[in-house]
């Protein structure tokens, strides 16, 4: 369908302006989006910084949400299916403070594609846990387990 990353960057920008204001507030940048993974960068600036000078917990949540949810959205759209991913649960492990921009990576594209296909066949909601890694200066600062839920709309 629209496999150009430029198209999806524009969609992300519009989503942040029109639908999910928190996304627009942290100003994420889509670095990579394909059938295998999604990489999103959230800069450390006044809006995303906490009182100790590192990235705020809420900005981490937005990054983990985008890396996994936007990958599911992309895969459904590329398959010409109508689905909007939602989250059932989130588990986070923080390893160290993020004192610069953070890159969130979800590389579970095959797992999400399988979930979308199973939902298409069964007509039921499918849930899977995907992993999102947050890195800062090539060092892992956090790991998220996001339970993504998808149901294909007919």
> What are the CA-CA distances from residue 6 to residues 29, 32, 82, 83 (Å)?
11, 10, 21, 21
In the chain, DSSP assigns E strands to: 29-33, 38-42, 86-94, 102-106, 126-136, 139-150
**Cα gap 94→28, rounded to integer Å:** 20
pLDDT at site 3: 62
Copy the structure tokens of residue 82. 């109508």
Model pTM score: 0.93
**Is the torsion defined by CA of 70, 19, 8, 46 positive or negative?**
negative
Give the sheet arrangement for strand 86-94, strand by strand: 29-33, 38-42, 102-106, 126-136, 139-150, 86-94
Range of the domain at 103: 5-150
Q: Which of 78-92, 95-109, 121-135 has the lowest mean pLDDT?
A: 78-92
DSSP 49: B
Q: What is the pLDDT of residues 15-74, one digit of tens each?
A: 889 999 999 999 999 999 999 999 999 999 999 999 999 999 999 999 999 999 999 999
Copy the structure tokens of residue 107. 């590389």
Number of independent structural domains in the chain: 1
**Cα gap 143→138, rounded to integer Å:** 14
Q: What is the pLDDT of residues 85-107, one digit of tens each?
A: 899 999 999 999 999 999 999 99
pLDDT at site 153: 80
- C-beta neighbour count of 140 within 10 angstroms: 13
* DSSP-assigned states of every residue in 84-128: --EEEEEEEEE-S---S-EEEEE--HHHHHHHHHHHHHH-S-EEE
CATH code of the domain covering residue 98: 3.10.129.10
Entry field: residues in the chain: 154
């Amino acid at each position: 369908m629209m496999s150009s990353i430029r198209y999806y960057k524009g969609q992300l920008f519009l989503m942040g302006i029109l639908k999910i204001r928190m996304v627009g507030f942290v100003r994420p940048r889509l670095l990579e989006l394909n059938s295998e993974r999604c990489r999103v960068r959230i800069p450390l600036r006044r809006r995303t910084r906490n009182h100790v000078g590192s990235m705020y917990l809420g900005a981490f949540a937005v990054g983990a949400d985008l890396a996994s949810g936007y990958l599911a959205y992309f895969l459904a759209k590329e398959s010409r299916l109508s689905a909007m991913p939602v989250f059932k649960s989130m588990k986070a492990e923080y390893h160290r403070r993020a004192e610069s921009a953070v890159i969130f990576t979800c590389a579970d594209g095959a797992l999400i594609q399988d979930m979308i296909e199973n939902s298409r066949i069964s007509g039921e909601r499918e849930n899977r846990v995907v992993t999102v890694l947050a890195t800062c200066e090539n060092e892992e600062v956090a790991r998220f387990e996001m339970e993504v839920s998808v149901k294909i709309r007919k």
